[in-house]
Amino acid sequence: MPELPEVESVRRGLVRRRLRGVAVARVRSSGKPLRMARPQPLPALRRATHGQRITDVRRIGKYLLLDLDGRWSVLVHLGMSGNLITAKRAEPWAPHTHVVFELADGRDVRFVDPRRFGMVDVVERGRERAHPALAVLGPDPIAEGLPPEHLHAASTSRSTPVKQFILDQGVLAGVGNIYASEALWLARIAPTRPARRLGAAGAEALSVAIQDVLEFAIENGGTTLRDFVGADGVPGDNGEYLLVYGRAGTPCPRCGTAIKKAMQAGRATYWCPTCQPR
């Protein structure tokens, strides 16, 4: 599943493709419903995009926003396996292409999603947070910043383990399972520590670590897991830079202790028992 850095890689790939200023001429669809979209809102998409120029590509959490020069933005969630790619009109649609924005310059922006857990919708620009999918999200640690006070205030009443706490998209948007392990290792915090015992210093360390881990992953184009590729079709190479995730039994890069793995709320967690004591 793409996490924040992978979605940011897709965003940057689209920006590099020089979509800004190019108008949407037509929207086409496979006709197959996408899992997360309430009915797939094709008429609304057509009305919102017809003849409108793309002015920016933004991201909030794991959601991409294609801003248009009218009143609307196109909201895209990549789901489990989705991608937003550009292609020349003449190129045949790849399998599982579900929504295609035909641009006035002869290119397409194509939403490809084999498992159809993704979503394409329309939101009013400037009122994105009123959309039900975005209203429930905490701040985006990269696009909006993550003040330690926010993390601390949110943590004081929570007895849930800190790893689940930072995975809660209502606390902060876009941190998934891989980067949660990485950030906790960097901040030297045991993943099982109750969130309410984070304290101001723990919240500060964790806030910095989350932003560092995500920034580093973005610089490396995201993590390649299974079939993730960025918008330009190039797999990210952050996988080889992961410090603890997927590295059970290998030496901790800081102290040499063997990295441990355990299941936590059904998800794999990796940590160093020496650097992150309980």
Q: Which positions lie near Zn ion, rule CB under 5 A?
A: 252, 254-255, 257, 272, 274-275
In the complex, least distance from residue 254 CB atom to Zn ion, rounded to whole angstroms: 4
Distance, in Å, from the CA atom of 208 to the CA atom of 51, rounded to the nearest integer, reads 43
* Element of type H or E holding 104: none
Residue with tokens 């205030």: 153
* Least distance CB 248 / Zn ion (angstroms): 13
Which of 3, 6, 8, 182 is the catalytic position? 3
Give whichever of 175 and 275 is closer to Zn ion, judged by the CB atom.
Answer: 275
Contacts of 47 (CB under 8 A, 6+ apart): none
Q: Which is nearer to Zn ion, 218 or 272 (CB)?
A: 272
DSSP 170-233: TTSSS--HHHHHHHHHHTT--TTSBGGG-HHHHHHHHHHHHHHHHHHHHHTT----TT---TTS
Four-residue CA torsion sign, 270, 203, 215, 276: negative
Among 53, 125, 247, 267, the active-site one is 267
- Residue from 11, 62, 107, 163 carrying the catalytic annotation: 62
The nearest distance, CB 132 to Zn ion, in angstroms, is 42
Return the number of the residue (147 or 273) whose C-beta is nearest Zn ion.
273
Residue 37, both tokens: 């979209």
- Which is closer to Zn ion, CB of 72 or CB of 245? 245
Residue 188 C-beta: closest distance to Zn ion, Å: 8
- Catalytic site residue 89? no
Amino acid letter, 162: V
Residue type, 253: P
Could you tell me the smallest distance in angstroms from the CB atom of residue 61 to Zn ion? Answer: 30
Residue 2 annotated in active site: yes
| Known catalytic residue at 240 | no
Give 142's contacts (C-beta < 8 A, 6+ positions apart).
4, 8, 174, 211, 214, 215, 218
The DSSP letter of residue 257 is P
Give least dist CB 247 to Zn ion, A: 11
Specify whether the CB–CB gap between 167 and 184 falls below 8 A: no
Which CB, 53 or 261, lies closer to Zn ion? 261
Q: Which of 2, 5, 141, 191 is catalytic?
A: 2
Our CB check for Zn ion shows the closer of 68 and 275 to be 275
User: Rounded to an integer, what distance in angstroms lies between the CA atom of residue 4 and that of residue 215?
Assistant: 10
Where in the sequence numbering do the catalytic residues fall? Answer: 2-3, 62, 267
